[in-house]
Structure 1
Amino acid sequence: MPTMRLRALGTLAVLAALAGPVAGCEKKSEPTAGAPTGAAASPTVDVAANSKTVCAAALDVVKAGFVGMADDAIAQIDKPVAEAEKNRLIRERYTTIVTGLRAQAPQAADPAVRGSFENLATAIEQRMADAKAMDVDEPTLEKHLTAMDTACGN
C-alpha cells in the first residue's frame, strides 16, 4: 500500500505542475497591453473584454478538470480502484476539458486566444488516443497550457 500512496502523491504533483501555467490567468484583471487583436475581430467587439471573459471560462474548465483528477487521485489513496476505472475517470475529466475548450474557442474574438484553446483541446485528444493516454506522469500538455496562459495575457 505505501507504493500506491506514493504513486498517488506523485500523480498529484504532476497535476499541480500541469495546472500551474494556467493558474496565472487569475492574477491579472486585464489582458496585457499589446495583446494581438487579430483581423477577424469585429469592430464592435471589445477584444480585451471578450478575451478576459472567454479566458476566465476556459480557465474554469481546465482547472475543474485537473482539480477533479487530483480529487480522484486523493480518493484512490484510501479506496483504490481498478486500473480500468482509474482510466475511465481520467478520460472523463479530459473529455470535459476538451468539450469546454471547444465551446469557448468560437466565442474568442482574438485568434491567438481561440487558437490556444483549440490547440490545447487537440493536444488532449491526441493524448487520449495514445497508448499511454492515462499515464498522467508525462507532462506533455504543459506547452499548450503555457501557450493558453500567454494568449490570455498572463
Structure 2
Amino acid sequence: MSTDLPSKDLLLDACAGTVAVPHPLLQAAYELASLHEARHVADPGERSGIDCARVRLIRDIDRWTAHALPRPFAAASLHTETLGMVVDRMAEFSVTARSALAATDPECLLHHAWTRLADLSLAYADLSHDLAARTRRIPDSITPHPGDPR
C-alpha cells in the first residue's frame, strides 16, 4: 500500500465515481460522494444515518492518515482540518457542482459551485504537498465514532 496521497485529479475522479487506482483515500472519497448524493435526495429523517456513515469514513481516513503519512517536522504549521474533513468537503462540493449542471439554477450558482470545488481541490493539492514535505501537520484528534467511549 502506498503512503503517497493521490493527486487532486484522482481524488476528483473518485468523487465523480471512478476509482482508477486502488488507494484507501480514493475509495473513501468515492463512498463519501455516494453518501452526499444520497443525502442530497434523502428525507430529513434519513440524513442522520447518512451523516453517521460519513463520520465513520472521515474517522477511517484520519486513522489511515495518522499511520501512513510521515511525521511532520516539529515546527510544521497546523492545518485547520483533518484530511478526512477535507476529503468529505471535496466529496460534498463535487456532488453539489455536478448537481448544479443538471439543475435549473442560475448560471451564477453553477459558476460558484464549480469555483468552490476548484479552489478546494487546489488547496488539497497544496496540503498533500506540504504533508509529504512534512512542513504541515493536521490536527491529532480523530473524529469520534458515535458510541466510541473517547
Greater helix content: 1
State TM-score, norm by structure 1. 0.34
State TM-score, norm by structure 2. 0.35
Give the number of the structure whose alpha-carbon radius of gyration is greater: 1
